[in-house]
């Protein structure tokens, strides 16, 4: 049930409030990567099935006793639907990304597709594993990379079981935290990770670049947030943005964004994150948008984003799914200094960048 745990981790990143409102699946199903007319056709014909699959996977993720038969049934139904859509519209790729936001009864589903004419977008799909060296193991009594994996599993379990004490919000003492370090089960890890950031830099670097286990690569990425110099963190983590494993590259982008935010450090190459705005993965786009929302504090970056990312940001703004829509709107507001509405797409198309003298340097 690892997939379910990872889903719970992603769902927990949303801001939760429990308001009840009328539900219409048309308001919560997106198609990304197809022309608007085709997207509307797909939603009209398959939207209800997509919505039902979203409900099923959320139920599975919340029920730790769900048996494999039920999970396999969900997977088969999903694969069958995706195969039908791909065949009918000639897509090279199709997948469904599910998330909740603001209300547990509002389940957002994005059907990500790649058209034949957009085959260059397949670079984001099913990346082949890069041949790597054998893992670099330490002779010490414990491997700190494995300790970070252990720490993350505790946090995921807390999300899975709804352990509010362990998930309680608190000030993060380092650049990026999975949860607070005040809980008795988590507190011992802080000193271990802080010490490792000083004493085991070579192990951390080698693991990110050379370990053949994506779980360890992601754990090593998370360890970098316990280092003290933001430039060193970003330099060390940046290659992992291109990791073939989605969890690893998503964690890399989260570490980079939180480091930039906390350190007010904006001198970062934006190209990888602008490229990911066209990814066939909702999660990739979400994390890249988070990085760009922080980078947009800088005048230099505002100009770059206005020139290179405006059209893509507007495409993402048109999505209903908040993880992409809200961040796209945040970036557009920051680079424009305009009060244009989040659904006034025509006004955003007409907007042209002008330097703003009062923005942060």
Instruction: Say whether both 96 and 184 belong to one domain.
Output: no
User: Among residues 264, 290, 325, which one ends one of the domains?
Assistant: 264
Q: What mean pLDDT, rounded, does the chain reach? A: 88
Domain end among 124, 158, 178: 124
What pLDDT, on the 0 to 100 scale, is given for residue 282?
Answer: 93
Q: Are 132 and 210 in contact (CB under 8 A)?
A: yes
Q: What average pLDDT does this structure show over 169-198?
A: 92
- CATH number for the domain harbouring residue 346: 1.25.10
216: Cα separation from own chain's centroid: 18
66-3-67 Cα angle (round to 5): 15
pLDDT in tens, 230-249: 999 999 999 999 999 999 99
316-342 pLDDT per residue, tens:
999 999 999 999 999 999 999 999 999
- 59 — pLDDT class (breaks 50, 70, 90): confident
Whether 36 and 118 map to the same domain: the answer is yes
Statement to judge: residues 191 and 233 lie in one domain: yes
pLDDT grade for 8, boundaries at 50, 70 and 90: very low
Per-residue H/E/C for 150-199: HHHHHHHHHHHHCCHHHHCCCCCCCCCCCCCCCCCCCHHHHHHHHHHHHH
Beta bridge partners of 173: none
**Same domain for 64 and 33:** yes
Q: What is the pLDDT of residue 85?
A: 98
Give pLDDT, residue 68.
80
Q: Which of 17-21, 52-56, 317-321, 344-348 has the lowest mean pLDDT?
A: 17-21
Question: Of 224, 247, 264, at which residue does a domain stop?
Answer: 264
- Based on the domain organization, do 256 and 133 belong to the same domain? yes
Domain carrying residue 325: 266-361
pLDDT at 64: 59
Q: Which residues of 132-152 are buried (b: 16+ CB within 10 A; e: fewer)?
A: eeebbeeeeeebbbebbbebb
Listed range (82-91, 135-144, 249-258) with the worst mean pLDDT: 135-144
Domain count, the chain: 3
Q: Are residues 284 and 334 in the same domain?
A: yes
222 and 347 share a domain?
no
Cα–Cα distance for residue pair 235/250, rounded to 1 Å: 16
Same domain, 111 and 183: no
Do 98 and 220 have their domain in common?
A: no
Q: Using CA atoms, how far apart are residues 217 and 206, in angstroms rounded to an integer?
A: 9
Please check whether residues 282 and 339 belong to one and the same domain: yes
Confidence check: pLDDT of 21 > 80: no
For the chain, give the percent of residues with pLDDT over 90: 71
Least confident residue range of 19-23, 116-120, 315-319, 347-351: 19-23
Regarding pTM above 0.85, the answer is: yes
Q: Which of the 8 DSSP states describes residue 142? A: S
Query: By three-state DSSP, how is residue 110 classified?
Result: strand
């Amino acid at each position: 049930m690892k997939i379910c745990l990872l889903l719970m981790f992603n769902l927990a990143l949303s801001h939760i409030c429990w308001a009840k409102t009328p539900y219409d699946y048309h308001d919560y199903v997106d198609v990304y990567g197809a022309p608007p007319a085709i997207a509307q056709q797909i939603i009209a014909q398959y939207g209800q099935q997509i919505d039902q699959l979203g409900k099923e996977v959320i139920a599975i993720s919340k029920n730790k006793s769900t048996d494999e038969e039920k999970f396999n049934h969900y997977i088969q139904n999903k694969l069958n639907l995706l195969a039908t859509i791909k065949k009918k519209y000639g897509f090279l790729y199709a997948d469904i990304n599910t998330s909740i936001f603001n209300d547990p009864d509002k389940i957002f589903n994005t059907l990500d597709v790649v058209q034949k004419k957009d085959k260059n977008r397949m670079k984001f799909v099913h990346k082949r594993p890069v041949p790597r060296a054998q893992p670099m193991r330490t002779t010490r009594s414990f491997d700190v990379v494995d300790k970070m994996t252990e720490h993350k599993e505790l946090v995921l379990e807390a999300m899975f079981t709804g352990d509010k004490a362990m998930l309680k919000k608190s000030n993060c003492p380092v650049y990026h935290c999975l949860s607070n370090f005040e809980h008795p089960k988590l507190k011992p890890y802080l000193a271990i990770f802080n010490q490792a950031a000083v004493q085991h830099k070579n192990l951390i670097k080698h693991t990110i670049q050379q370990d053949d286990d994506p779980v360890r690569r992601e754990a090593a990425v998370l360890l970098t947030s316990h280092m003290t110099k933001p430039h060193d963190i970003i330099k060390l983590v940046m290659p992992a943005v291109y990791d073939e494993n989605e969890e690893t590259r998503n964690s890399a982008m989260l570490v980079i964004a939180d480091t930039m935010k906390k350190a007010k450090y904006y001198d970062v190459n934006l190209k990888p994150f602008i490229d990911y705005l066209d990814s066939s993965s909702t999660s990739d786009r979400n994390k890249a948008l988070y990085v760009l929302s922080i980078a947009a504090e800088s005048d230099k970056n505002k100009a770059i984003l206005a020139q290179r990312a405006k059209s893509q940001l507007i495409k993402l703004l048109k999505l209903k799914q908040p993880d992409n829509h809200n961040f796209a709107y945040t970036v557009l507001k920051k680079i424009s200094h305009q009060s244009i509405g989040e659904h006034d797409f025509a006004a955003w198309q007409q907007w042209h960048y002008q330097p703003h003298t009062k923005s942060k340097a």
